[in-house]
Every structure is written in structure tokens, then in C-alpha cells.
Structure 1
């Protein structure tokens, strides 16, 4: 039973009212902002340093407010706070949940309230917590992994005179957020900043298909001045967020786009795409999976747009998912770029990495696997090709990466391998990592420390999947029921290399009785396998993925030829010293 003394353990006088509600303006204390819900009724702002994180929640209610961190997005188990404002006093307390009933008061009160007030129907609470409290009873450590945040609120304050004062919430929800790797907005954008929109034009989403890929073209041949892209933003038509699975903006340079296409032309990205558009694959920006946050490039880098010899053809590719085949859906969503003529120090670009998606190049995940790994490579020879094979090429400095996968993915890792002068392979610290990946939160992850990739290095993207609850195999593909292993790596200075993909030959795959499987029979062998209690084929498949020949393709729309093909034996790249992060705990 909760007693009044416990519930009102922390009281403080109401502070100064700050301004109009809600306030989503970033500032020095709260540089990061996100809406926890689709309605904009629960706004979260936060900031952090090396040891602490401070939050502000703005909630459209005059009742109590809950906020917390969960292991998997459910309300139990979770590390939570509950607070409200009543009678010019802020009531605030640290709890944890162990079961689906009233939360338990923490014996160690590690969440500390800074202020609270009510204004115009909104409740505002500011509070602080150590990143690592070292409180093992109910607290979760805040890390660079994606965090599952939960929230709740009620229309009324608790009745502190009641033996059970906490009324069940009227609203609750969850959102995955990268609290420590989000891009940092500048204090202000350059005064000459302008925007350009790449959006669909009242596209009618077909009813006959649950999955549709629409591409729209944009001709920027008339942009003869070089600018820098400094910010990227998603643009959603009202109510269409649930139907837009993801949007990607690609670009390339072609001799005379006006003679080959009509500016604004729209078509199916796969079945109807002209040849020159199919190879227009330099990644510029991407959003999706209900991610509505802007991406700000660091203040020393910008992505070139416009100018002599620059890409002139831009392609907006939008993947719509209409599972219920709802009719009369019309969409004009897309991507907005903010650019400036005040050029930054470094020309940056994205390198696309991952497994190639094709019916002939199979990505295959068996059912019933709690931790199934697949890898994709950007080989040493591909990197050298992208650097024009020059010994004096400047290394690529990696700023961060955005991972792209679907619901089975649980862990994403961008590994960096260096060949020493003796020919040995040593693994460096990971360039990007998310040990709690959530496909609903595919935001750019700023690197903790920028690292250089040289022309003798290998990059390896490692994706881990949990198919333990799925009763059928999962193939590679863009549909949400399929899987992906992709990363978009932001780096500088810009190279010719735009993409680097790979796929397994499966030449080391053996069947149930240990016989080698011919290349032409791999697909049918895997599809015909009964995976229930079949440990032999599970072992055989994992062995093949780790030991077979890996084929690689690298490309650039600015080189001639525009692509190169590589292959190598994975066992030739044996990492003698794998990287192992050391966990340091700073308890505050």
C-alpha cells in the first residue's frame, strides 16, 4: 500500500512559467527534441554530458505524468517517474515496475526533479538522472544503444489522501529513441539558408497492392552554383505517416536528362524504371518507419549540391505499405533539404553498404533463430577502386551511420578491419553500433569518435536477427515481411565510391547428409528444408555464410566504368585480434 509520505516524498514550489506551450525549440540545455506521440500531446526535450542526462516533458494534461525507460517497450519491467503539480507544489517520485499493478517506490531515488509548472492546460516537468546509477533494483543504464522510452498520463492528479492514490493512466505509449547518438542542431542556421523539396505530387496509392514503390524524378541541371546540404527533413502529408514505410533520395549525373525524361515524371521504381534511373544510386537522404526527426549535419561538413560536374538527376523513391488496401489514399510526402552557399570545411557523402537484394543473390534467415548473423562487406579492392587506387589517397573520416533493417533485426554493427604491414588483420573500434536496434527508429547515429578508413582497410556490416517467434523462413527484400542488412555511412572527404554491396556464393553449403550443394540448387535446397528440430542444416547454413566466397559490387555514377566486381574468400580475412569494447561504469 502506498502511503502519503511515500507518494509525496519530493515536494517543491512551482517555478517560473517559461513560455507558450508546447515549446519544441532546442536550446543549450535541451538541444534534442522529439514528440513521443503522433498527436503532439507529449513533447520530450533532453540534454546530457559525460555523466548525467536531463529531461523536460511537456504533456497536454493537468493530471499526473509518467515517463520511463523500458527493456522492450512494455510497461513492465521499467524504470519510471511519476509527477504532477497541485496547489503550487510539484509532486515527484522515482519508481520501478515489476508486474502489471501499481509501481514500486525505489529505495534509491535517482531521478531528481528540477522544476515543474502548469500552463494553458499543459503540465511541464524537468528532471535529471545519472546515465549510470548502478542501482540494480529497477534502474536501467542509459547507453548509446536505442532506448525504449515509455510514457503515460492521466486527466486528474492522484488523491494523496487515498490509500491507493495512483489512478490508472488514461493514455500510454512507447517510443524508441537514441538519446546519446542523435544529431546535434546548431545554435542557428546560416542566414542565407534555403530549402528545396523533393516530394510526391498527389500520388494515388494503388489499392490492388499492399506494397508499392513509386519513384519521382527531379532535374537540377540548372543549378550551376555549388551549395552545401546542411539539414534533411521528412515531409509527410497529413495522416500518411502510417502508409509511408520509407523514403530515399538518390542522385546521379547523366549527360542530358531533359532528353531522357520529363522533370517530375513518376513511375514504379522496379518494373517501369528507365535504365539510367536504375543505376542512379548515390544516397543523399532517407527517412521512414515513422521517423519524423530532422537530421542536422555536423557544422564542419556539408553534402555538395549543384555546381559544375555535380549530380543533376535526383530520384525520390517512396515505399508505400497499404496492408488493409485502403482506397482513395493520395500522398505528397517526401524529403526537404536545407542548403547554404556558405560552404563548410569538408565535402561529405554517404557510402551505401549491405547485402544486395535480388532473387538470384539470396539473403536467407531460417525460422527459430534467436541470434542469427549475416555480414556484408566493402572490400579492400572496392575501397581502393573508389579512391582511384592512389597510394596517397586521403582516408575517409567516418562521421556516423544510419542502419536500415526490418522487424527481426536486434543488433547492427559496422566493423572496421585494418591489414597490418605483416599482412595480419586487426579489428579497430566499431564505426557504428546499436545493440538494441529497433526498426521503428532508424535515425542517423553520430559516431562517438570519428575514425579514418584507409585504402587498405575492409568494412564489414554485421546484422543480427531474432527469428525465434517466426515459423517460416525470411528472405531478403524491401517488403516489411522481408529483411535487410544495410547501412548508410556518412564520411568526408567525398570520394568517387557511392555504394559497396556483397552477397554470399554459398559454395560451402552442404545438405542434410553432408554433400556439397551446387550453386544452382542452393535456393531450392534452403526453401525445401524443414527447419523444425533440424540442427544439422542450421549448423551447415551458418558455416556456409562464414566460410563461402563473398562477391562484392562497388559503384559510382561519376566513374567510367561505373561499377566494379570483386570476390574473396572470407577465410582470407581472418581477424586475429577482434575488437572487444571495455565497459566502464561511472556511478553517480
Structure 2
């Protein structure tokens, strides 16, 4: 019967590997690896072949021979509607390697199309080594389609030696997930020059407050830098004891401080900065939960030091502590790699998307609701250099309702290839990702950042803001050569929003009022499907209020309220699929 499913039946006598051998000895030619489970029993190695659109995987497992396991993928880490490859041994001692899927209840089914190709396998006692490959797109509706966004790798371990695995409930087994960018771009990272040195900016043994959201501020200084140098890489340094509490970290350079900066070490403001810290606004390093190191391309680095360069910086750590845990002491921060030999270009960081403001909101009970932030051509035309800039890395950012984020690139009404996209975005995994190739942005180009949010489990409206329970929609892009444009973000025009609240009061009899603030007005509305649709229409049609901001915090000259939306006249064509037209994906 199993032959009808084209299954790989493995009849093996294994002798090579023993459980005492450390996992590191199995890396071979695989460039990437990840430990899947908390007890370090399942190690996932992989590599990517873009020429043949294949991902090559090696699983090294210490699952006992009296148990069986599966590893695979799902949209957001669920064990339901998942795509698993399963290794199991029946009561006769026969080994099986099978492509499977789970339904909405987590029940396991054998896939009629076996798309995981086993290449090698060995086992002895409690050690199993499996090497296999799979195409990015298999044209099988039960398989997960791999892309270059976030991939949720799921796994389970179940006890026993079953006669058949069909009908087993994966959700009842020991299971979990890890997040990774599986299809990493093929980029040749620049080698460190011999003169590289490092420094760290760390939180000074902060006693993390037992409250949901804390922005901790700490002012300190850079090492003495009499000459210009370039940051060429940075990475998070996260305390193991507080890794589940540190949501993101930013290091701000304090512009133009020639004397002393007031010392600060304590909880900061959720929004804005006091006047004495207003100069600390240029981001020189950032980390978010799940992120790895960010390396600059060999032609660019972030400039620090030299004549007139202020030594003062502000470290901001966002702690997310929804369980109000007490007694955690944190010294997390960022490590910088610096070269005294300057590179060709100075790099910069530009914020795209929506303003941090409660003018935006998400109605409750929405499967998906789009929030859209604009960087309009009227801003790039006056703020970017004549030859434009090249964006080489991107960090998409939302809070807890974000499900997908992407940034569109528009030139003269024509939509160009997207800057970055993550269709399975997770707020718990916000990497700064190098782009496969730098994207050239010219003056008069527009960039549109779209966040698709889900509030189906929320009973109340979600407004924009800094708290983790509020929402953001941002893309932090890294580029060169550095310009004076630091923020290019939008919000709905204030007059249009006030008109919406007035309409809701007059026509829908909602207790909204011009005397109330935006948060109170949003909370005064009964979010019926009709009212949710009206808000969506408001955002899709209303003019914009723009933040087209210089690095000193001031707006570029011009009138930035009531600005028109960017219209796409020629959309980007859909990429042709290699699958038959009749093929339907789940």
C-alpha cells in the first residue's frame, strides 16, 4: 500500500554515528544551522541552491529509538495546516521517511505527492542523521511554498513505534517552532580588515521593571575617536537571563553636543524625548528580537569620530514584560565592529512607513486590515542626492498584530520590484536583512510600506503608539551614500480624520467629539463591519500629513499637510508560476 504513495522506505543498518559525538561535527558543507528544541535534541542544518531552486537540509537528532519525529513548515508556527517530513520506525524495525501534512485539527496524513527527496540517512541507538532536499515550490497544495521572508520551522516528537502514522494528532505530541530566514540571499560578505576593533554599548545592570512596557534610557559616551572611522558591522549582545524580555535596542548618536549631556539612567518616555535629550536622534545601531549581525557592504560604513564629532550617545532598550516578572537584571546592548580605514561611502538609516501616532488605528475582529505609510516623491525630490541612494538592508517592524509587511517602489507611476517583503512576518523575529542586490532609489521615487495586521482575537480597537499593545508600521532601511533625509513617513491628514469622527457622530450616532482626543474617539466607535469598512476607505482615499525630516529633526522646507497619496498607474506584473493553472494551494 505504501508504494502507491511513492514513499521512501528505508531499510538501514546504521553504524557510523554515536550519540556522544557533538552536533558541531555534522555541519559538513552546510552554511547555516539552527537548534530547534530547548533540550538541543534536534539540530537543523541547511543550504540554498538558487540555480536549481532547492533547499538542502540535514537533520541530526537525538530522539530515542522508541520515539519518532517530524520537522517541517507552517505559516506562523502552528502544528495545524503544516507540512512535515516524518521519520518513524514501525514495530518490525522498518524505517520510514515520509512527506506528510496536517489538517485543521493537527491530524497527520500521508501526502500523495512525496516531494522531500532523501539523499542519505544513518542511525545508531538514539542518533539519527537525515539529509534531504526539496524545491522551493513543489506545485503540491499540501506543501509549504518557501520564500525569502520569515520561515517558521515546526517540529514534533511522539513516543512509540506505530504501525502507521496516519491519523496521529501532532498537537498532542511534544512540539515547538523556530523562526529563521530560510532562503538567505547569496551575498559575499566583505572580510574584516586587519585593523578592526570593537566596542560595546551595554545597559548598566538594569533592574527590569515588572510592568508590560518600559523604554529604558541610558546616556554614555563613545570611545575617544580623534579621526573619522567606519562602523562596518554590529550585533546584539543579549543577556541569556533577559532574552525573552528585550524587545529591541537602539543606540542614538547625540548630534552637536559640544559640552556635557545630562546623565540619564532610567525609564524614558514612550513618545518623544525631553529637550535635553532631543539631540540624541541619529540611529547608529539597532537590534530587534531574533536579529543576527548586520554587516555593511565593502563600499560603505557608518561614519563616527573626527573633528567636531560628539562623543555622546543614548542607549534605548525596549523591555516587554507582559508577565510582570521581577528580579531580572539586564546588561544587554550592541557590539560595534569599527575600521580606522574609511570606506568609499558613508552609510545612513532612513525610516519609512507610518508615523508613531495614535492617528492610526485597527478595528477589532479583523482577519486582515492594511495600514499603509508613504514616502512620497515630493519628499525624495528635495531630500535625496541627484544620483540617488542605494538601499542594501531592511528591517521591517510592527508590534503584535503584524502578519505581513512589504515596501513597494514606485517611479513616475510605474511600480518597480518591491524593496522587501515578508508574507509570514513575526514581531518576535525582526532581523535587519541584507537585500540580494542594493536597490537604487532616485529623487522623485516613492516608497509605500504596507502592514497587514490581524486583530481577530482583540475585542477593542488598537491604536498606533509605542506600547507593545499598540501598533507600528515601519521599515528601517540602511543605505549609502548618507543624505540628510532621516524620516520619510506619513499619517492620515488631521482634518480628514476629524471629518471622519464628525461623520461617525452625525450619521452613525457614535459618541465621537471634536473635544476628545484621537484615542478616545476611536474607543467611542462601535466597530461594526460597516464602520470598519468606512475607516479602511478613509485611509485609502484621504490626503496625508508627512514627516519629511532632516537629521536635525526639522522638516525639510515645504508644506507637508494635505499631501496627495501616491498612485500606481502601472502595477508590477505577477511573477509567472511554474505550476499548472489548475493547481490550487491551500
TM bucket (normalised to shorter chain) is: 0.7 to 0.9
Q: How many angstroms apart in 2 are the aligned matches of 1:167 and 1:366?
A: 35
Deviation at 1:546, TM superposition (A): 2.5
Show the 5 A alignment for 1:261-340: 261-262=262-263, 265-270=264-269, 274-289=274-289, 291=290, 293-310=292-309, 312-340=311-339
Equivalent of residue 471 in structure 1, options 454, 459, 463: 459
Q: What is residue 408 of structure 1 aligned with on the other side?
A: 401
8 Å contact kept, 2:460–2:523: no
Deviation at 1:185, TM superposition (A): 7.5
2:368 matched to 1:375?
Answer: no
Sort the Cα spacing of 1:329 and 1:498 in 2 relative to 1 into closer, same or farther, 3 A. Answer: same
Q: What is residue 253 of structure 2 aligned with on the other side?
A: 251
2:183 matched to 1:180?
Answer: yes
Q: What is residue 422 of structure 1 aligned with on the other side?
A: none
Alpha-carbon displacement from aligned partner over 1:94-132 (angstroms, at most 9, x marks no partner):
222236566323232211223344689654332211111
Sort the Cα spacing of 1:310 and 1:9 in 2 relative to 1 into closer, same or farther, 3 A. Answer: farther
Sort the Cα spacing of 1:94 and 1:454 in 2 relative to 1 into closer, same or farther, 3 A. Answer: same
2:547 matched to 1:546?
Answer: no
Q: How many angstroms apart in 2 are the aligned matches of 1:506 and 1:556?
A: 22
8 Å contact kept, 1:184–1:298: no
8 Å contact kept, 1:432–1:445: no
Give TM-score, length-normalised by structure 1.
Answer: 0.83
Q: Which runs of 5+ in 1 are unaligned?
A: 420-424
Deviation at 1:183, TM superposition (A): 8.3
Alpha-carbon displacement from aligned partner over 1:20-63 (angstroms, at most 9, x marks no partner):
62329987x43233333455444323211221011223344344
Sort the Cα spacing of 1:577 and 1:282 in 2 relative to 1 into closer, same or farther, 3 A. Answer: same
Q: How many angstroms apart in 2 are the aligned matches of 1:6 and 1:572?
A: 54
Q: How many angstroms apart in 1 are the aligned matches of 2:273 and 2:482?
A: 28
Alpha-carbon displacement from aligned partner over 1:114-170 (angstroms, at most 9, x marks no partner):
33446896543322111111122x21211223222201235x7x637x466989786
Equivalent of residue 130 in structure 1, options 121, 130, 135: 135
Moved more, 394-403 or 519-528: 519-528
Q: How many angstroms apart in 2 are the aligned matches of 1:24 and 1:172?
A: 26
Sort the Cα spacing of 1:549 and 1:97 in 2 relative to 1 into closer, same or farther, 3 A. Answer: closer
2:497 matched to 1:494?
Answer: no
Give TM-score, length-normalised by structure 2.
Answer: 0.84
Sort the Cα spacing of 1:41 and 1:311 in 2 relative to 1 into closer, same or farther, 3 A. Answer: farther
Deviation at 1:386, TM superposition (A): 3.2
Q: What is residue 418 of structure 2 aligned with on the other side?
A: 430
Moved more, 5-14 or 577-586: 5-14
Q: What is residue 439 of structure 1 aligned with on the other side?
A: 427
Q: How many angstroms apart in 2 are the aligned matches of 1:119 and 1:38?
A: 22
RMSD across aligned positions (CA): 3.8
Deviation at 1:550, TM superposition (A): 1.3
Q: What is residue 113 of structure 2 aligned with on the other side?
A: 108
Q: How many angstroms apart in 1 are the aligned matches of 2:223 and 2:549?
A: 22
- The 3-state SS of whatever aligns with 1:575 is coil
Deviation at 1:12, TM superposition (A): 5.5
Alpha-carbon displacement from aligned partner over 1:368-426 (angstroms, at most 9, x marks no partner):
23232222222334334433xx6xx221112231111022122212122223xxxxx22
Show the 5 A alignment for 1:550-561: 550-557=544-551
Deviation at 1:93, TM superposition (A): 2.5
8 Å contact kept, 1:267–1:273: no
Sort the Cα spacing of 1:299 and 1:47 in 2 relative to 1 into closer, same or farther, 3 A. Answer: farther
Moved more, 410-419 or 89-98: 89-98
Moved more, 523-532 or 487-496: 523-532
Deviation at 1:90, TM superposition (A): 7.2
Q: How many angstroms apart in 2 are the aligned matches of 1:210 and 1:583?
A: 46
Show the 5 A alignment for 1:361-400: 362-387=359-384, 393-400=386-393
Sort the Cα spacing of 1:356 and 1:239 in 2 relative to 1 into closer, same or farther, 3 A. Answer: same
Sort the Cα spacing of 1:451 and 1:324 in 2 relative to 1 into closer, same or farther, 3 A. Answer: closer
Q: Which runs of 5+ in 2 are unaligned?
A: 581-586
Moved more, 438-447 or 169-178: 169-178
2:97 matched to 1:92?
Answer: yes
Show the 5 A alignment for 1:24-103: 29-38=29-38, 40-50=40-50, 51-63=53-65, 64-83=68-87, 91-98=96-103, 100=105, 103=108
Q: How many angstroms apart in 2 are the aligned matches of 1:402 and 1:414?
A: 11
How many residues are treated as equivalent by the alignment? 563
2:485 matched to 1:484?
Answer: no
Q: How many angstroms apart in 1 are the aligned matches of 2:212 and 2:79?
A: 32
Q: How many angstroms apart in 2 are the aligned matches of 1:276 and 1:385?
A: 30
8 Å contact kept, 1:95–1:104: yes
Q: How many angstroms apart in 1 are the aligned matches of 2:188 and 2:37?
A: 21
8 Å contact kept, 1:505–1:519: no
Alpha-carbon displacement from aligned partner over 1:459-515 (angstroms, at most 9, x marks no partner):
222222222332110011222211101110111222222222322224334313459
Deviation at 1:336, TM superposition (A): 1.7
Sort the Cα spacing of 1:310 and 1:384 in 2 relative to 1 into closer, same or farther, 3 A. Answer: farther
Q: How many angstroms apart in 2 are the aligned matches of 1:247 and 1:205?
A: 14
Alpha-carbon displacement from aligned partner over 1:292-328 (angstroms, at most 9, x marks no partner):
5333334444333333455633322111122232222
Sort the Cα spacing of 1:126 and 1:538 in 2 relative to 1 into closer, same or farther, 3 A. Answer: same
8 Å contact kept, 1:213–1:319: yes
8 Å contact kept, 1:85–1:118: no
Moved more, 302-311 or 74-83: 302-311
Q: How many angstroms apart in 2 are the aligned matches of 1:125 and 1:204?
A: 45
